[in-house]
Every structure is written in C-alpha cells, then in structure tokens.
Structure 1
C-alpha cells in the first residue's frame, strides 16, 4: 500500500534478512493456551507483508472496531432479501422488516436488563447516542477526565464539570461525592471500561453515589458491552450507550437505552418523517418513545445485526467469555512484563478487573514506527496514538503516544505470542525495512504489498 506523502524523517533499518515473525505458525501450533472463542469473518485472513508472501493476520485492534461474527453476517444475508420500508409499508417484506426492527429493540432491551419503561433508541454509534442524550439532560453533567472523547465532548455545550480522577478509584469516588455535594448535577456520565487501560469501574457503586445526590448515571459501554453483560435494572444505571461496530456487528448501528421521561421531554434529535404524529404549516406534534428520535428510514440491517450479536454473546455464555479473556489477558500482560523498555499504562492502583486491553509506552523509539512495522512486516494490527482519550492519556503517560493491543472473542494464545515475539524483536533490533515519517504517519519507504481487489 504505497504512499505519496512527503517524508519528513527516516527510520534506520535492520538487516532485511532477519526471519519474519509469523513465518513459523506451524511450529507454534503446539503452544498451549486458549484458541478463538467465536467464529469471526476475519478468521484465517491472510495479509501481504513487505518483501512478498502472506501471513495469517493477527487482529489486536478490536477495541477500535471488531470484525463481524460469522453468525451475524449470516443473519444479515438472510435479512437483506426482505429489505423494504419500515413502519410504513403494507407489503409482506415491509411488515417483515418492521417486525425485525421491533424484535431487535426487544432483544437489546432484554440483553441489557432494561426496565419496562426504558426506551431503546437506535443510533449510529456510541458517540451518536451520547450526543442524543446530551440534548435531553435537564441540567449539568459531571464526568471524569478518564473519558473517551465520545463521553467528554457532547456535554461541553450543555454544562460540563470534569473531575480529575485520583490514583485509586476509592479516592475518585470520594472526589465525585464531594463535587456532587458541592453543587448538584442532573447526570453523572462515566465509561464502563477504559478504552485506554481496559480497567472496569464499579458501576453499581457509581449509580448509588449519583442517586444519593439526586443525579442519574449514564454509562459509555462501548468497550464494556462486547466483553461483559450489563444489567441496568440490577446495577441502577439510568442510561447505557454502545456501538455495534465494537460488538462484532459493524453495520452502522448503536443504541441508547434508558429512562424515557427525559427522552420524551427533549426536542427530537432528528427532525423528519417517522418522528411525528401530525404536521401542519402552523404546528408539529412529535411522537413520544424511541421513534421521536429515529426520524427517517432506520438502519434495519445495523439494528438487527446488533441484536443478533447480543444473542450470540448469550449463546457463548458469560463464564466462557470471561475465562477466555482472563487467560489471554494474563498471557499478554505477563509477556509484556518481560520485554525490556516497555511500560503498561494503568489509571487506578486499586482496580484489578480489566478487559483484554494493554496500552504500552516505550522507553526508547517511536510506538508509531513499531506499530507500522508490526503491520507491514509481521501482519499484526495494533494502534498507536492517544486513543481519543487525550486528557487521560496525557495525565498518566510520560510520552506523546502509546501503543495499544486489544483482545477479543476471535483472539488466541498464538495471536498473543506472535505479538510478543514481534514486539520484543522490534524493541531490540528495530524494523527490518526502512520507513519514512509522513503526515499520514510512519509508512514503508518501499511498499510492495498489493491492495486487495474488491472488484
């Protein structure tokens, strides 16, 4: 994948004859450890590497966007022939589509433990869902500085107060308690699990804290939901936002689930057909319920794909999902501890529960260069940057950027081992090829990898 961007810096290259990580997959086949938990569409995908040849792709960037579950893709293929007008048509396909959408709403509500009077509003993604909620909150919102930008920026225009988290979550709960006591707020909005560190926060404790001060609790569950079952009624969460593209249903839909009174009192998120009961030149009567905020033709495929992914999570089972992730996370963190010059970031000293996410700093060298070489020379996808969590990253990191490896339902012990081997090699010896630093990031100086043909 060649680039025409002008180079501004050059990385020195190690000898090109060094063996490429990933070429000895057969030798690793005997390695013990968990295999993939679920069948994903990218299973067995081979990608080209510099110098020619193909290697099995290792996807350790699922925290950004996950591939589709095979069961989800098969479900979408069955749905597409019936694609037709939702809520408005009299034909059989239209009625089938309407039933599919409303069944998806029921599945989502059941999976997250929604209360009987909660609304399930289908959105584009978590960012969209939280922006919708921001327009419905009747007062100020308190957030932590650990938030993803999706749960930091929407409140800026609506009255936002940011609490800087402490070194422990116990200390942070005390700071939140003091802030809410100092001046009341309508909402406390937090991440369920950090996309930077993978740390999982105690949501029931946060709900009790918010409710004790007359506030409600919203949770950005973009990272948490694909890994853990969330129950609104049991935990006391008032609003939950999440994305299909992180939950193995990358078809452009997410959801906001929560209490209906604020949503029914808020202006329609989108003004258009389907959100109204009656329209005249003089006045418009808006609907209540989810349809109030779902104007226009809905994303049927996205909504039903998201629901089907949640059904698949239930089929896999909560215990199996946790055991798979815990084993691979321990393997990943244990291996990183043995790589010289690597530090794993964490936000809280007292939170031991974490998802399969590890963001590292390097004592020397560029994480951007390492990420580029992992992809181009080893067929391993990770991510380098500040991960749309700039305030949090800037507070806990000592360098400009980090490198994140994230595990998912399709990850295996071999994936972890290949990453650790390649990372240790790159930290010790540098890339085998030459790279230029361009405005688009680090790119191979000579990129002979062919682009896939989608015909």
Structure 2
C-alpha cells in the first residue's frame, strides 16, 4: 500500500443511508453490509423466510405418507410449488414433471448417473462448464462406455456443434456461465437440433434462472436443473424434466417414497415420474418456501432484470476505469469477474470484506476453463441480485478503487 493510504483508512466504512426502499422484501438488511455474491446464493425476501417459519411453527409434518390435516396441507403446498416451477419455466405439465433434490449438482448427477446403458451414443459438453456439468459428464461417459466430446463456445456464448455427431447424443451445458454471466446464444435452436437427431439436452440453469429467466422460459430441453437458493428460495435443487426422460431412467438410487410394493427380491416403482429423483424424506418446508419465492418473484421479474442490467453496466464501467485491475468479462452482466494485479484475489476479497463488501474469489467451480485451460490464478467475482442497489454498487466501486489506487 502507498504511504498516503493506510489499510485502516481504506477499510474504514463511510457513513451511508439506511437500507434503500428499493430493497422490497429485504428490509432486514443492514446498511453497513454490501452482499455481492448472489451467484453463489441469493438473499431471501421476507415472504420466503415467513413461509419457512410458518411451516416449522404451524404444520411441520411429512407429505406423501400421512392422512392427517398437517400432512394434507404439506402436500398441497408442495404440489403448488411443482406447478409454479413448470409455469415460470413455460413448460407444459402434460409433458414435464418437477422434482426436488439437494441442489443443481445433485439433480444433474441423478439424471446422468441413471441414464440407461445402450440408449445413447455420446456425451457432449463445453469447455466453460461448471464442475457440476464438467465432472459429472466424465463419470457418466465412463459408466456408459461412450465417448465424451468437449466443444468450444463463441464470445457470445453460442455453442457450435457443426461437424459433431449428435445422433442419440446427450448434450449437457449451462444456459449462463458461472464466471461472466454470458447467456448461451441460440439455445432453443440447439435443443431442437439435438432432439431432431434422437438426442437429449440437459440444461444447467443455475445462473440463468435468477438472472435471465425471460430468455430461458419456453425452451423445451429434456431437463432443466436449477437451484432454489439462487432464485430467492431456501437451499434446494429443482429438476424440471420430461416424463419420458424420467421414466426411462435406470433407477438405482432408491428408497422410501419411490416404491408402491416390495417383495424379498424385487420392488415396484410408483407411477409418478417425479418420484424417480426423490428418494427418502424430502425438504418439505424448503419446497413450500420456494413456492413463496416464485410467487414473490413473478410480478417483480421484469423490474429485477432491468435493475440488474442497469447496475451491471454501472459496475462494469466503474471497474474498467480502475488501475491494476483487468476485467475478465468483455461486457456487462449480473455476474462480473476480474483479475487484480499486485494483490491476490483471495487477499483482496478479505480486504473488501473488512470494509463490508462481500465478493467471491477463486475459480468459481470452473477449474478446467480458468485454471487448466487458461492457466489463470484465482479471480474476484461480483454478482448482483434483487436486493442490490445503486448505493451498493457505488460503495463497492469506491472502496475497491481506493484499494487498487493504494497498491
């Protein structure tokens, strides 16, 4: 640090106004803290917290296995959330079912590790995928004994599959990457082409669902996996998949809630497609609270996307002007990553935390893309959410700028 700027003066929090009225549902937030890690998990608005608390304090029972009033109330709430998921994704209930898992990674693995042997010819993914896709496609290809193809993306996120054999292929890719927030271009066309050749497409929508839902809606992939905790809900995974895909799985991860009959050496599975991915007791309260999150989100979606776009440009422009800092993004997005010079990313994240600015540092579960392929050291990632305000962005830019100038 330069002699004129001591760490103590850089870390000192400047006075700021009380929480902005723009924080609809986030009135509990302290004005002293700036949370910029929504790409990991979003904060939860009041109605979601209230819904989960109500479940635990008023009717915290099981669903699916009981006949008493509390259980019926649970079942009604879970069923309503399943319906809301398909509705918000624009997927027809006559062809799709919604299942709940631990997280996106869990959902992707449940699908890939139970694909039937002999049905598919190859697995295709891209170099920029989150580990949840990149690693699970490796193990699935090994189990099935089929080749795995890894392809490039264009600067706009488009995936060019020209020249690749897509006959009976399993294509697994994200709808928005985890590092720069780049939305996959022409995803609907890719899905249609793969399905035309007898293949299936499994979409990792963990980042796209909260930040680009309007562009994801209505894309009829064979499965869409996302995380409720990135969509203003509790910690929970969500899979919306075709009933054909779910019923074709070679179910091997089994337990209560999935079988209708069991003999000494055999069993009969339930007929409901979603049960193929739901072994054992489910997170009933979290599922119901995610329904509250979707209900809260629906009328605010357009405003949130507009606000994120405006704040992202403000953030991108501000970071681009700073010394000793290189943007990894080529354009503004709700997820922006950069490489600081003269200080490691983890150390800078700690400095920012001491000033009340919470950002992520590392390779963001994109180790092949960033560390293996590009040879990059850890980066800093800043990501926006519905709670983010212009005051948050300005404060983050002010503190970061003072730190970078002092290096």
Question: Under a length normalisation based on structure 1, what TM-score does the superposition of the two structures give?
Answer: 0.80
Residue 64 (structure 2) aligned to one of 78, 87, 98: 87
Q: 1:37 to 1:199 in 2, by over 3 A?
A: farther
- Is 1:426 the counterpart of 2:403? The answer is yes
Residue 121 (structure 1) aligned to one of 84, 91, 99: 99
Q: 1:265 to 1:114 in 2, by over 3 A?
A: same
> Contact 1:124/1:254 (CA < 8 Å) preserved in 2?
yes
- Is 1:415 the counterpart of 2:392? The answer is yes
Map of 1:273-284 to 2, 5 A cutoff?
Answer: 273-284=256-267
Looking at structure 1, the residues matched to 405 and 377 of structure 2 have their Cα atoms a distance apart, in angstroms, of 21
Alignment partner, residue 297 of structure 1: 281
Alignment partner, residue 44 of structure 1: 30
Alignment partner, residue 221 of structure 1: 205
Shift of 1:333: 0.3
Residue 135 (structure 2) aligned to one of 153, 159, 168: 153
Q: 1:269 to 1:256 in 2, by over 3 A?
A: farther
Map of 1:295-444 to 2, 5 A cutoff?
Answer: 295-318=279-302, 320-346=303-329, 355-376=333-354, 378-394=355-371, 399-430=376-407
Q: What SS class does the counterpart of residue 180 from structure 1 fall into?
A: coil
Looking at structure 2, the residues matched to 324 and 234 of structure 1 have their Cα atoms a distance apart, in angstroms, of 23
Alignment partner, residue 236 of structure 1: 220
Looking at structure 2, the residues matched to 190 and 277 of structure 1 have their Cα atoms a distance apart, in angstroms, of 34
105-114 vs 131-140, greater mean Cα deviation: 131-140
Q: Aligned-residue CA RMSD in angstroms?
A: 2.6
Shift of 1:240: 0.4
Alignment partner, residue 48 of structure 2: 72
Shift of 1:271: 1.5
Runs ≥4 residues deviating over 6 A: none
Give the helix-richer structure, 1 or 2: 2
Shift of 1:173: 3.4
Residue 22 (structure 1) aligned to one of 13, 35, 39: 13
Using CA pairs under 8 Å that are at least 6 residues apart, name the structure with larger relative contact order, 1 or 2: 1
Q: What SS class does the counterpart of residue 229 from structure 2 fall into?
A: coil
Deviations 1:28-48 (A, max 9, x none): 99xxxx974532375226xxx
Looking at structure 1, the residues matched to 104 and 82 of structure 2 have their Cα atoms a distance apart, in angstroms, of 16
> Contact 1:114/1:258 (CA < 8 Å) preserved in 2?
no
> Contact 1:275/1:291 (CA < 8 Å) preserved in 2?
yes
Shift of 1:152: 1.2
Shift of 1:388: 0.3
Q: 1:111 to 1:231 in 2, by over 3 A?
A: farther
Alignment partner, residue 57 of structure 1: 33
Deviations 1:148-189 (A, max 9, x none): 01111112122162424244348x533x222235xx343211
For structure 1, the 5+ residue unaligned runs are 1-10, 46-55, 431-455
- Is 1:165 the counterpart of 2:147? The answer is no
> Contact 2:23/2:386 (CA < 8 Å) preserved in 1?
yes
Looking at structure 2, the residues matched to 248 and 234 of structure 1 have their Cα atoms a distance apart, in angstroms, of 21
Looking at structure 2, the residues matched to 196 and 101 of structure 1 have their Cα atoms a distance apart, in angstroms, of 33
Q: 1:231 to 1:63 in 2, by over 3 A?
A: closer
Deviations 1:117-173 (A, max 9, x none): 212111111001101110343423210011101111112122162424244348x53
Deviations 1:46-101 (A, max 9, x none): xxxxxxxxxx1100111111221111111222222111121121211111111111
Shift of 1:258: 1.2
Q: What SS class does the counterpart of residue 267 from structure 1 fall into?
A: coil
Q: How many residues align?
A: 393
Q: What SS class does the counterpart of residue 159 from structure 2 fall into?
A: helix
Looking at structure 1, the residues matched to 389 and 43 of structure 2 have their Cα atoms a distance apart, in angstroms, of 15
